[in-house]
Amino acid sequence: MFKNRFLLIAGFIVLMAQSLFAQESQPNTDTAKIPPPGSSMQWSNRDMTYHGKNYDVMDSSYYPKFRAKQFKKYMNHQEIFPPKPRNQWEAGFGLGLYNVIGNVPTLMLWNGGGGGFNVNVRKSLGYIFSLRAQYIYGVGKNLDLQPTTGFNYPYTAFGYVPLYYETPSVKATPVYRATRMEASQVSLDLMFNAYNINFHQARNAVSFFGYAGIGGLAYKTRVNALDGGYAPYQFGTIVSDPKAKNSKIRKDLKKGMDKTYESVADNGGGKQILDHKTLDFAPSLGAGVQYKFNKKFNIQFEERYTFPSDVYLDGSRFGKTLGNQVSQGRSSDAVNYFSVTLNYNVSTKKKSVEPLYWINPLDHAYSELSYPRHMILPNPVLPDEDGDGITDQFDKCPHTPKGVAVDSHGCPLDTDGDGVPDFKDHQLITPTECQPVDADGVGKCPCPEACKDLAYDSSKGGLIKNACGKIKTGQLLFTEVTHISTGMQAQLALLASDMQIYTTCKVVIIGSGAGSKAKEQHAWENVDAVIQYMGDKHQIGRERFIFKFGEVGDENIVSFRGANETEQGSGNVPPPHPEIK
């Protein structure tokens, strides 16, 4: 009986599944412009107005006046829950299959049976529960496909007692009962659904629901009898063919009957109202599925069963003949109504959202976590180990002494760019022509032509004769980490220029640092870094350098000068204490 309608539902769901996620998917944040926290910018996607939401929770125009107090508390962080927004009503109209489930088999619509229509209005109570008022007009037809031979009822006048077999010689007339029930039903349904609550996407385009309803059913049943009376049709030829298929029996019965249901069936003495309709209390249960096309329209497939506790809906309280006795039949009849309804969300002039059973209540919470606008956030605390005002993430000199002025990179200021930071520089502004400078930042201005061939040698205690004296001298200040800074690179560029002019001259690279193995190793690493840099950056080989380290002085200072004509030494010296590194 219900196979065809289930196939119809399944086919529709398969057809709609391809567009399900396209209809209700989240915007692609890789391509969409995401409003920053606190911004008034909004997305303008089809079903979303702000980060996947149906509405802006912080817009007061969505709330009725009696919820203004809660909204005010929420905005002032005195209440953690925003108020429930004003939401739309849903109105619908549908068509369906109307069937009476009783003692006489139902006749489906495609076999000439009945159908109906419905109108409904639904209002959300919250995100799960809603109330719906529905009116159904239906016509149900029932037709026996097997003869009942134990009685003539209902093809007799009212009050006639069914003819049971009195003796084996009595042969009753076979009867094929054919009835038509016309009904109007009003129901108030408490509906529930939870499929709108989704943890992994903004919302679904499909909603499943169930409900329980109470209401009234007013019905009138008529019998298809012979010649407008209560006499049965004669179908002896059908009775004589016990192997006939139901489809053939149904076809033959229809040919032998007229199309009028003119005789009033018994209602068991039930209460009657207008047009001789019997009125019953009618509780019902049902379930269905909805598919949303957009924010206004959705289509609904629904199955409703109504149980009015009445055995006369199909015009007969008796079942089939069992042997020589007539069964008492069902304790009560029921009504089944399968419908397809087109629903429309009704909006007013005031701002309102879709019915709440279409909205994911987690929208606001998830959006607030990802793009906070109302959330109270603590002031950010960024680590700054040396306290120079530059966070460690961007501090290129992370161990600057306390109180030393730094630049935007967190490195000590070097006003004259001589490689000696201001807090160590004894000559804060050293002219360019007097650079490079010594460890105290004091420059050596050019000497007269007479001293051009002299060079200062600290180990000799003064000036010595030096054919390579025109090569500039200088000092490089390293931090605790061996790294060629920008200031050092400028000094070494000048040194490389001189060495490319005076190609026969060597340069002595001296690393201060004495008194401990750690200092000696650190001094060696600094000198090696300078020689390696000159080779990598300026293509000057190690054979042009004399490698010295471990002299008295600050282990962070490396000095260089042109070698005198008597100096000898290698540019490759093994580390003194490699195990320390």
Where residue 240 sits, what CATH number does that domain have?
2.40.160.20
Kindly state the average pLDDT of the residues 527-540: 91
Are 168 and 309 members of one domain? yes
Q: Which strand (E) or helix (H) includes residue 349?
A: none
pLDDT score, position 152: 43
Domain count along the chain? 3
Average pLDDT over residues 107-126: 90
Q: Which of 315, 342, 358 is the last residue of a domain?
A: 358
Looking at the fold, whether 233 and 350 belong to one and the same domain comes out as yes
The 8 Å CB, 24+ separation contacts for 461-464 are: 464/564
- Percent of the chain whose pLDDT exceeds 70: 75
Question: Do the domain assignments include residue 227?
Answer: yes
- Maximum mean pLDDT: which of 66-70, 514-518, 577-581: 66-70
In a domain, 231, yes or no: yes
Mean pLDDT of the 205-234 span = 82
Shared domain for 354 and 394, answered yes or no, is no
Number of other residues whose CB lies within 10 A of the CB of residue 269: 9
Q: Is there a contact between 375 and 365 (Cβ–Cβ < 8 Å)?
A: no
Contact call for residues 83 and 63 (beta carbons, < 8 A): yes
133 and 255 assigned to the same domain: yes
**Burial environment of residue 364 by CB neighbours within 10 A (0 to 12, 13 to 18, 19 or more):** buried
Q: Are 103 and 196 members of one domain? A: yes
The enclosing domain of 517 has a CATH number of 3.30.1330.60
pLDDT digits (tens, 9 = 90+) for 181-201: 999 999 999 999 988 888 888
Report the predicted TM-score, pTM, of the whole model to 2 decimal places. 0.57
Q: Are residues 492 and 548 both part of a single domain?
A: yes
**Domain-embedded: residue 423:** no
Residue 58, domain member (yes or no): no
Residue 301 has a pLDDT of 97
In a domain, 122, yes or no: yes
Please give the average per-residue pLDDT across 527-536, as a whole number: 92
- Domain of residue 404 covers 383-413
Q: Does 102 lie in the same domain as 248? A: yes
For 489-505, the pLDDT digits (tens) are 888 888 888 888 888 88
Q: Is position 493 within any domain?
A: yes
The pLDDT assigned to 393 comes to 85
Same domain (yes/no): 104, 181? yes
Report yes or no on 434 lying in a domain: no
Q: Classify residue 127 as exposed, middle or buried by CB count within 10 Å of its CB (0-12, 13-18, 19+).
A: buried
Q: Is residue 163 part of a domain?
A: yes
Task: Annotate 3-68 with DSSP letters as a single string.
Answer: HHHHHHHHHHHHHHHHHHHHHHPPP-TTTS-PPPTT-------TT-SBTTBSS-TT-GGGS-GGGH
Q: Are residues 526 and 477 in the same domain?
A: yes
Strands 89-101 and 178-192: unpaired
Answer with the residue of higher pLDDT: 353 or 436: 353
Note the pLDDT tens digit of each residue in 282-341. 999 999 999 999 989 999 999 999 999 888 888 877 666 544 445 555 678 899 999 999
pLDDT category at 108 given cuts 50, 70, 90 is confident
The CA R_g of the chain, rounded to the nearest whole Å, is 49
The per-residue pLDDT for range 342-365, each reduced to its tens digit, is: 999 998 888 899 999 998 888 888
Per-residue pLDDT of 74-94, as tens digits, reads 988 888 899 999 999 999 999
pLDDT band at 424 (very low <50, low <70, confident <90, very high): confident
